[in-house]
Amino acid sequence: MLADPSSLAQKLSALVGEEYVLTGPAAARFAVDAVVPALAVRPGSQQEVASVAAACSAAGASMLQWTDGALIGLGNPPSRLDVVVCLDRLTRIVEFDDANLNVSVEAGVPLDALQAVLSAKHEFLPLDPAQSDQVTVGGLVQTNASGPRRLLYGSLRDWVLGLRVVLPGGERIRCGGKVIKNVSGYDMNKIFIGNLGTLGIVTEATFKLLPAPATRATVVGVFAQLSEVGAVVGRTLESFLLPEALEALDPQALASLGPALGLNGAAGYGLAVSMAGSRETVERQVRDFAALFGEGKALKVETLGAERADAAWRAIRDVHAKLPMGRVIAKIAIPIGKTLDLLSAAEGLMRRHEWRGAITAHAGSGIVRAGIEVGAGSDLEPLREAILSLRREAEALDGSLVLEVAPLSLKRSLDTWGKVREGFSVMRRLKAEFDPRALLTQGRFLGGI
């Protein structure tokens, strides 16, 4: 524990201004997994972040970068937490170089706000995590969050051109740059994407952008059997078609998304596919998918134009986050060809236990997300067992199950990340190199890092 919080608070106040250093109940608002920090600090510039880090480091205080309300829950409970560094005041768009399709933004900018700026110049960042209204750039980078559109566009590692990072000692470093091809030295961006604040505090990111598509459309279908969904997915992946998202829904997810998808009251499995591009290619794909769904024995097929599609996809992405508090959200990552097998396994468990929730899968990307409601005071043991069995199944396929959201009581008995693999020694040494005194985000990451 921090020996002398008030002395540090004074030092920090001198650096960032007294009103931006929070203590007591104000700091408690920044508790992570019920671990309450002694202080929370809200620096006003990247340079101030560096000064704060240097001061905390000098005082031997442990730090944690507050990402945002949506993503802060990811990770094991911290083993120690003295100072939360909240970047909500870092909200500058540093440079929007629309001619060169890139943008540099500070960590506190919410993703939706960024997209609004980009869309004014007919460009966009093709990342679509859940709760994009709350997710900030800093949170995005620290957690490597992604969404359905990764099918066509990939994930954060494909879109970050550069980062500015504050190391625990207060050194400011730059990784990458703003050009789209860059092999000058190591690809340092990669170790910071998804590092959960264990190696450094990300203060700014430069993203590669795309021109906004001329148009978008979505086709959704309802199927009686999951195997029918699987057949359509298989044929899609073998085809020339280039959808940007291909999302499979279990019956519970479909039921709760019915209104948003124009499929009120539909029962069965859902498959939603999104197309973006020129009018010609989008129209052609709408036709082809309607036909593919029809041949695949869809009970119902609906086409959504661009205006309805946006809301529909937001609903799909947020379906787990909309479950009542106390929920569990597990992200299962497996080879693409096994995606629906895992969706089926998760659904089977939920059915057996009569759990309420929603399961979705990025059917062409190897990601299944299961959201489960957990009633207050309910016995967590069956749930723990169920998650462990899914994790075993995923790990047997060389995949993983990450507990994205879970009640603290469950987190205490179930590791967020699962097993470590060969090569973990490098991760441990990396942590030791960057944060030799283990001041950053203690105990939350893989293998206790």
- For the bound state, the minimum distance from the C-beta of residue 156 to other proteins, rounded and expressed in Å, comes to 10
> Is residue 340 near other proteins by the rule CB under 8 A?
no
Q: Which is nearer to other proteins, 61 or 363 (CB)?
A: 363
Residues facing residue 330 across a β-bridge: 370, 403
Q: Cβ atoms within 10 A of the Cβ of 117, count?
A: 15
**Which of residues 98 and 373 has its CB atom nearest to other proteins in the complex?**
98
Q: Which of 56, 427, 439, 440 binds other proteins (CB under 8 A)?
A: 427
Question: With contacts defined by CB under 8 A, how many residues of the chain interact with other proteins?
Answer: 91
Query: What is the Cα–Cα distance from 305 to 400, expressed in whole angstroms?
Result: 36
Residue 193 or 232: the one with the smaller Cβ distance to other proteins is: 193
> Is 39 or 140 the residue whose CB approaches other proteins more closely?
140
Calculate the alpha carbon distances from 247 to 222, 235, 325, 392, 401 in Å. 12, 14, 24, 24, 19
Report the interhelical angle of 226-238 vs 339-353 (nearest 10°): 160
Q: In terms of CB distance, is 37 or 194 closer to other proteins?
A: 194
Distances (CA, A) of 303 to 46, 262, 270: 46, 9, 13
Q: Which stretch binds other proteins (CB under 8 A): 315-323, 346-354, 362-370, 381-389?
A: 362-370
Instruction: Kindly identify the residues of this chain, within the stretch 42-81, that bind other proteins according to CB under 8 A.
Output: none
CA distances from 172 to 47, 169, 195, 201 (A): 8, 9, 17, 9
Q: What is the DSSP string of 183-236?
A: -SS--THHHHTT-TTSS-EEEEEEEE-EEPPSEEEEEEEEES-HHHHHHHHHHH
| Position among 137, 328, 399, 410 found at the interface with other proteins (CB under 8 A) | 399
Of 17, 44, 77, 234, the residue at the interface with other proteins (CB under 8 A) is 234
* Nearer CB in complex with other proteins: 140/260: 140
Residues of span 151-210 touching other proteins by CB under 8 A: 154-155, 157-158, 165, 167, 171-175, 177-191, 193-195, 199, 210
* Shorter beta-carbon distance to other proteins: residue 144 or 256: 144
Does 29 sit near other proteins (CB under 8 A)? no
- Residue 310 host element (H or E): helix 306-318
Question: Segment 298-337, which members bind other proteins (CB under 8 A)?
Answer: 331, 333-337
C-alpha span between 266 and 246 (Å, rounded): 19
Smallest separation (angstroms) from other proteins to the CB of 153: 10
Q: Report the site for other proteins in 101-160 (rule: CB under 8 A).
A: 101-102, 122, 144, 146, 154-155, 157-158
Of 19 and 240, nearer to other proteins (C-beta) is: 240
Q: Which is nearer to other proteins, 251 or 399 (CB)?
A: 399
Q: Return the closest-CA partner of residue 138 out of 116, 118, 114.
A: 114
Question: Binding of other proteins at residue 280 (CB under 8 A)?
Answer: yes
The pairing of beta strand 245-249 with beta strand 269-277? antiparallel
Binding region for other proteins (CB under 8 A) out of 80-88, 132-140, 249-257, 424-432: 424-432
CB of 372 to other proteins, least distance (A): 20
Angle among Cα 283, 286, 291 to the nearest 5 degrees reads: 130
Closest to other proteins by CB, 230 or 268: 230
Query: Are the beta carbons of 248 and 271 closer than 8 angstroms?
Result: yes
Task: Single out the residue of 429, 358, 365, 418 nearest to residue 393, CA to CA.
Answer: 418
CB-based contact 129:362 (threshold 8 Å): no
CB of 380 to other proteins, least distance (A): 22
The order of strands in the sheet holding 328-333 is 300-304, 215-223, 269-277, 245-249, 357-362, 367-372, 328-333, 400-405
Binding span for other proteins by CB under 8 A among 80-88, 124-132, 235-243, 303-311? 235-243
Q: Interface residues for other proteins in 236-255 (CB under 8 A)? A: 237-242
Return the residues of window 367-396 that contact other proteins according to CB under 8 A: 367, 394
